[in-house]
Amino acid sequence: MKNILSSSLSTIESTKRALLVTSILVAMSGCQSESLNSAITPEPEVESTTNQSMQLIDFDKQIEFINTVAADTQINDGVISVKFKSENNSYSNISFNPDTPWDWSALKDFNLAFDIANTGKHSVQLYLDISDIDGANYTRTVNIPVGSTSNTYYAKMAGHDLATPDGDHKVELNFNSGLRSNPDTWESEEVQFTSMWGKKNLNTKGIAKISLSVQSNLHDKEIILSNIRIRQNPEFNKQFLTHIVDQFGQNNTEDFVGKVNNEAQLENQRVAEAKTLSGKVADGRSQYGGWLAGPKLAATGYFRTEKVNDKWSLVDPDGYLYLATGVDIIRLSNSSTMTGFDFDQQHIIQPTKDNVTPEDSQKLNRVSDAAIASRIKASDTRANMFNWLPTYDEPLGKHFGYRRSAHSGPLKHGETYSFYSANLERKYGNQPQGYMQAWEDTTINRMLDWGFTSLGNWTDPRYYDNNKIPYFANGWIIGNYKTVSSGDDFWGAMPDVFDPEFEARAFETAKVVYEEVKNNPWCVGVFIDNEKSFGRSDSVKSHYGIVVNTLTRDGKDVPTKAAFTAVMKQKYGEIQALNTVWEKEFTSWEAFDRGIDSSINNERQIADYGVLLSAYADKYFSTVEKALQKYMPNHMYLGSRFPDWGMPIEVVKSSAKFVDVVSFNSYKEGLTKKSWKFLEDIDMPSIIGEFHIGAKDSGLYHPGLIHAADQQDRGVMYQDYMNSVIDNPYFIGAHWFQYIDSPITGRAYDGENYNVGFISVTDTPYPYMVEAAKTVNGNMYQRRFGKQE
């Protein structure tokens, strides 16, 4: 090892770089079991600390490694102050890019740490992106609360590996637990960056870039950064996933504000809250929640849209201006979590082709008695998480369910349990109307008391005839139609919209929604589908992924490909004309239809791909619109809720031809003017179907996609987001996702374990969120339209 170290140090001296960490770690190939301190003796430029860490960057000496985008920096005495600018910037960052990638491959159990303080006026959600020489990237994030005191924030780079009792070797960074974010694997006052997306086990042989950024901020943000270092992980708590859930579905190992410790507390909460809920619409509002002080417009008996003083608005059935605020997922379907048990599959009833409701939108789906008798433990890791589960013959055993398929997680199917549903029975079970009706009554009264004007998407149809607060209906087009691919079908393959079966299924879906709504004027409108993978903005290829992938297929088997061939043949006539433009050598239209090399050569080809993507989107939205016109002509079509990661402009413009309101899901801190400027060209009423903000002081292990510092900060950030919606002349409302926190062990379908509810798993409202909603909802019409004479 001595010779290797000498060689490495010589190399460093010749390159005149101070990154001794890189070369020394390369030399550690024969000392992998040694700690950082015992394996090396650092040169003076490299700071060695008592917690076995090694400084990675000296800000005073290595400023050539520092790059920024829309950020101002100042270095002083080894620390760097960073001001992230918000105005006209959706992205602001500071990154560290060494000329020679860092080689950390000799370390097998270590983390990357930063000391950070927030010297600004607003909490900072900081995204950490680490990229390797293979082009892979891993994104994590954390919220830095306001305060000048520095704290340590760390990201695990390798380890801790876990050998489970069943002999299955797990890499903790892969999250084989089925949670989107695990409990910490060691106790400390430090804060771990929360996992988001990307390749979790990077190639530590070459780390090419470390970036810290803020995204879509409404305010400038400021931090002080120091002491970037790599450290050996502390001793691994191998029980970090054991008995983490108590009998109420809460964190069993931590205390937090609002935690319920016994059933008497639930009863006391029920009684106390009932005294505060009037169950009446707010003063100054129409029966539907419209603005009585605003202009009286034409009343059609149903909801519609109108532009008033250059601002889009909904109009309620009585003719009053109406903005839609509310929450999504008022149902039990997403409240269940995988228990780690399963059954003999011969007893599991599989879905039929005529089904129009995805399994994660269905009820708990308890298995048969015959299946219960075949119950087996399918995952020790999952089963050991729970401190308590009932037996099937106990009263609370009725809250078991089953999922026949999962989007992600350690089990592809298995038993589920809903602690939230069980808590409803504990809390409302002694009410004469039954716990489900008591829950429904309480929920409606909460929505009215909190000032919301609607129930958002994925509300249980049992609420559709409440006739006290408007609601948004929804449906899914699923079936045995053929499919195409965008290349990144996040929630599943895309429909082949030119397959006649797709239209048949669209009509069947519209019929089912009609039968649920029954022409009720309290229905604002209908969302069909959600976050379809129409294309991503990452690259030209992913933007036009549906076209790129479909052109390679045979039109005899793929109706959308045959349609694409027809569109290009109509435009160019002769195949040679297309060849000239695309710089290709197709021999005939027949050969084109059989499947082609769809690689992109020039801008004119990209323009044609835009035409084809538009043709696909036109067919999708026109088909759904035709089905809804037949069955629900009095209700608005609200689109498919474009995710902000997948809304190609061609598809958005296509939707605007056929929908009444364009819908988007946008998980950001708010709506920045620059990001939504494209709405000026479309000039359509728009709605936010999903957004949320969470924090880690709730006992859950993952705050969600957008992070606040704590529950109070959640309320502040909620108001900021909603005000950015109200201030945008094209948006007519926004719905929070979701009513209930995710299960702490992850929802059964995809493992989301987020603190994103207005209420906790024990049906306990978050006070700061409630007060924030009351403030926004109480002032939204005056803020949007101004005071009326």
pLDDT tens, residue by residue, 365-397: 899 999 999 999 999 999 999 999 999 999 999
Within 10 angstroms of residue 228's Cβ, the number of other Cβ atoms is: 19
Within 10 angstroms of residue 664's Cβ, the number of other Cβ atoms is: 23
In the chain the first and final C-alpha atoms are separated, in Å, by 84
Instruction: Please report, for the chain, the start and end positions of each structural domain, with discontinuous segments joined by +.
Output: 2-232, 337-417
pLDDT value at residue 171: 65
Q: How confident is the model at residue 48 (pLDDT cuts 50, 70, 90)?
A: very low
**Cis amide leading into 160 (omega within 30):** yes
Within 10 angstroms of residue 89's Cβ, the number of other Cβ atoms is: 20
Read off the amino acid at residue 14. S
Give bridge partners of residue 688 from the DSSP assignment.
664, 734
Q: Rounded distance, CA 531 to CA 242, Å?
A: 35
3-state secondary structure of 672: coil
Helix axes 263-274, 435-449, angle to 10 degrees: 50
Beta-strand pair 414-417/400-403: antiparallel
pLDDT tens, residue by residue, 110-163: 999 999 999 999 999 999 999 999 999 999 999 999 998 999 999 999 987 765
The predicted model scores a pTM of 0.92
Distances (CA, A) of 423 to 223, 263, 388, 397: 42, 9, 14, 12
User: Average pLDDT of the chain?
Assistant: 91
Beta-strand pair 191-192/147-156: parallel
Q: What is the DSSP letter of 26?
A: H
pLDDT value at residue 163: 56
SS3 per residue for 315-366: ECCCCEEECEEEECCCCCCCCCEECCEECCHHHCCCCCCCCCCCHHHCCCCC
pLDDT value at residue 51: 54
Q: Is 354 exposed, middle or buried (0-12, 13-18, 19+ CB in 10 A)?
A: exposed
Nearest to 404 by CA among 477, 347, 461: 347
pLDDT tens, residue by residue, 2-11: 332 233 323 3
Q: What is the DSSP letter of 245?
A: B
Read off the amino acid at residue 89. N
Nearest to 467 by CA among 440, 500, 494: 440
Q: What are phi and psi of 274, to 5 degrees?
A: -55, -35
Sign of CA dihedral 716, 718, 721, 726: negative
Mean pLDDT of 491-510: 95
CB 640 within 8 A of CB 527: yes
pLDDT value at residue 16: 32
Q: Can you identify the CATH homologous superfamily of domain 2-232?
A: Galactose-binding lectin (2.60.120.430)
Beta-strand pair 161-163/169-171: antiparallel
